[in-house]
Structures are given as structure tokens and as C-alpha cells.
Amino acid sequence: MSMVRVRDLVVRYGSATALDGVSLTVGSGEMVALVGPNGAGKSTLVNALSGVVRPASGTVRVAGRLAHVPEGRRLFPDLTVEDNLRLGGWRSRSRDPAEVYELLPALVRLRSRRAGSLSGGEQQMVAVGRALMARPEVIAVDELSLGLAPMVVAGLARHLAALNAGRGTAVLLIEQNARLAFRLCSRAYVLEAGRVVAEGPCAELARSP
């Protein structure tokens, strides 16, 4: 079942076309990468999924709640990890982080730490946890790898994959680093200048030049 279905999406900013007929699906329990250089239209696509940006034409359908983990983490640095998590639950009115601790056990020992005192990878995990507080069916993660060591990214990706398998949460990873995204995901879309220029299983895309 498709949790995200985008068809022939066109988005314009004034006279500039940011997305020019993009189609994409993410299935339940699927982990899909959206890769492409700066300015390709990745943020615009995510903004269209969350309803922040209105299509000029085409359709966008998200089955269930979408949670977006923005680039740069954007935690409240002076609040504890647990308080940051609780703030993520305001919309779903689920203030109890117990379930998130089950999904991301590494957060338990960090719960009383000031978010600003954590490493980049730890902060990124808190950001994912905060998004999970909304109990999303779909989670879109911006630049998971930004500024992080490959081993840290691999650890985060394992958590996402477990979530994906355990709960059927659909994951869309938005990455500039295509090689990394291909390693983490099963399927990928490559965006360039507002168009999908390649798509398919990551194993195949990783082999193509």
C-alpha cells in the first residue's frame, strides 16, 4: 500500500518552476531515498507533502500523519532530551515518551541531558524521536548524514530501519549524498532541476555511472 503518492507534481515560485512533473511513491514499510544536488527541488517536494507549498498542478496524497525531521536538528538546546521529546507530542496529545524509548532505546540514558550538550549524532536521534512522538505513519528525514561520521549515520539508519520493519512506518530520506542514501534505502529517486532523472532499486542505481 502506498503511504505517499505524488503524481505529475508541478510547483512554481512566481515564474520559476521548482518541480516539473514529479511522480513518486513510498509504500508502507518502505525506506526510500530522495537524492539530488542543492536546488534540485527536494525541500519543495517535502513542503508539498506537508502541505506548506501548494501545487500548480498534479496531486499529492499522504495516507496518515507525516512527520518531518528538519535539517539541522532544531532542538531546544537548554531543555532536556525528554522535554524536547514531549514537545514533539503536542499535536497527537501523546506526551508520554515511553513508546519512543522503546523504539529508540539509546535515548533512555540521554533523557535528562541538556539537548545542547549532545553530540551531533545524538541530537539527530533526538530529532527523530521528537518526530516519532507525533505517531506518524510517514517520516521524512532531511540530510540525516549532514556533518556526521559514517559510523554514526549507520547507527541512526539502523534505528530507522528497525522502525520501518517493526511498525511499518514509511521513511523518506532526503539526501545530497547519493552514495550514502543508496546504501541505506531500498529504492531511490534522483531529482535534478525539478525532474526525476533516475529511479529504481538502490542496488541498480548505485551501479550506474
Residue 44: CB minimum distance to ligand ADP, A? 3
Nearer to ligand ADP among residue 22 and residue 85 (C-beta): 22
Angle at 67 between CA 7 and CA 118, to 5 degrees: 140
Which 31-90 positions form the footprint of ligand ADP (CB under 6 A)? 36, 38-44, 71
Angle between helices 120-132 and 150-167 (to 10 degrees): 20
151 binds ligand ADP (CB under 6 A): no
CB neighbour list of residue 18: distance below 8 Å, 6 or more residues apart: 11, 12, 41, 44, 194
Angle at 151 between CA 167 and CA 112, to 5 degrees: 65
Residue 69: CB minimum distance to ligand ADP, A? 12
Residue 206: CB minimum distance to ligand ADP, A? 20
Q: Are strands 138-142 and 16-27 parallel, antiparallel or unpaired?
A: unpaired
Residue 93: CB minimum distance to ligand ADP, A? 28
Count of residues that interact with ligand ADP, criterion CB under 6 A: 12
Nearer to ligand ADP among residue 19 and residue 67 (C-beta): 19
Q: Contact at 8 Å (CB) between 135 and 94?
A: yes
Residue 144: CB minimum distance to ligand ADP, A? 13
DSSP state of 80: B
Residue 9: CB minimum distance to ligand ADP, A? 12
Whole-Å CA distances, 140 to 43, 109, 146, 157, 203: 10, 25, 15, 13, 21
Nearer to ligand ADP among residue 40 and residue 180 (C-beta): 40
Nearer to ligand ADP among residue 13 and residue 90 (C-beta): 13
Q: Contact at 8 Å (CB) between 128 and 104?
A: yes
18 binds ligand ADP (CB under 6 A): yes
Among 1, 13, 57, 90, binds ligand ADP (CB under 6 A): 13
98 binds ligand ADP (CB under 6 A): no
Residue found under cell 503511504: 3
**What nine digits make up the cell of 150?**
559514517
Nearer to ligand ADP among residue 36 and residue 129 (C-beta): 36
By the criterion CB under 6 A, which residues form the site for ligand ADP?
13, 16, 18, 36, 38-44, 71
